[in-house]
């Protein structure tokens, strides 16, 4: 799988993706919100939820689909 720059496009589905945030963090997972602005969500944003239920938007430079897990 390849990293995709947000300059080249965003995901089409509301799913979890591997992301590369802009700034000091390494690659992590986040949810993508492709819908209109509602309930505190902004359209076409990546979001992470803290262990306390707080949702934070993440400034992302690259993303990719989560690969399939191992087969046993």
CA distance 12 to 56: 20
pLDDT digits (tens, 9 = 90+) for 1-21: 789 999 999 998 888 898 888
The per-residue pLDDT for 12 is: 87
- pLDDT beneath 70: ranges in the chain: 23-27, 33, 35-43
pLDDT at residue 57, rounded to an integer: 80
The residues near 25 (Cβ < 8 Å, ≥ 6 apart) are none
Q: Nearest to residue 10, comparing CAs of 64, 59, 49, 58?
A: 64
For the chain, the domains span: 4-65
Closest CA to 26 of 53, 3, 43, 1: 3
């Amino acid at each position: 799988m390849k990293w995709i720059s947000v300059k080249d496009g965003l995901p089409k589905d509301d799913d979890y993706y591997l992301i590369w945030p802009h700034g000091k963090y390494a690659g992590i997972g986040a949810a993508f919100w492709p819908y209109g602005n509602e309930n505190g969500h902004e359209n076409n944003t990546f979001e992470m939820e803290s262990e306390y239920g707080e949702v934070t938007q993440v400034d992302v430079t690259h993303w990719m689909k989560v690969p399939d897990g191992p087969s046993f």
